[in-house]
Amino acid sequence: MNLHDAREILVRVEVHARGLGITVCAGVLDVGANPVATIRMDGAQLGAYPLALQKAWTAVAFEAPTENWAGITAPGAPAWGFSTALAGGVIVFGGGIPLVRGLLVGGLGVSGSSAENDAACARAGAAEFDATG
């Protein structure tokens, strides 16, 4: 993951969020979960920023979109309690996706709206990146 690609991903996230009429925070991490680039749109909730980074971290750490965890971590489900793993650092709702170019190269996290909107913004941000591998 390089800064140029990370910035392009974040521009696509911001454009999609504006199209939905929402403000978000977003972050791109490299494969080692180190921040490469972040944004906080004007008016985005302050608490959305660390959530975006945790969503990106979860996507890198487990190589899966964070929304994949939602159903199986609900009360009574097989992975109930997983969201408290690693001092609560695992995020189990939409907005985090792994970034792949053949192999995992990083993660993207988006937060500031509903899980569905956050996930849609993340998919929009990563779409061309994953396709141009």
For residue range 85-122, list pLDDT tens digits in order: 877 789 999 999 999 999 999 999 999 999 999 999 99
- State the pLDDT at residue 74: 85
Q: Is the domain 3-132 a CATH 3.30.450.150 member?
A: yes
Furthest C-alpha separation in the chain: 43
**98 φ, ψ to 5°?**
-75, 150
**Has residue 22 got a pLDDT over 90?**
yes
58 token code pair: 């979860």
d(CA 60, CA 49): 17
User: Between the CA of residue 118 and those of 4, 63, 66, what are the distances in Å?
Assistant: 22, 18, 11
Cα 43 to the chain's mean position, in Å? 19
Its pTM stands at 0.93
Helix (H, G, I), strand (E, B) or coil at 96: strand
Spatial neighbors of 61 by CB under 8 A, at least 6 apart, are 33, 90
**Has residue 133 got a pLDDT over 60?**
no
d(CA 52, CA 67): 13
* Strand-by-strand arrangement of the 25-30 sheet: 35-40, 25-30, 103-111, 96-101
Lowest mean pLDDT among 5-14, 31-40, 49-58, 74-83: 74-83
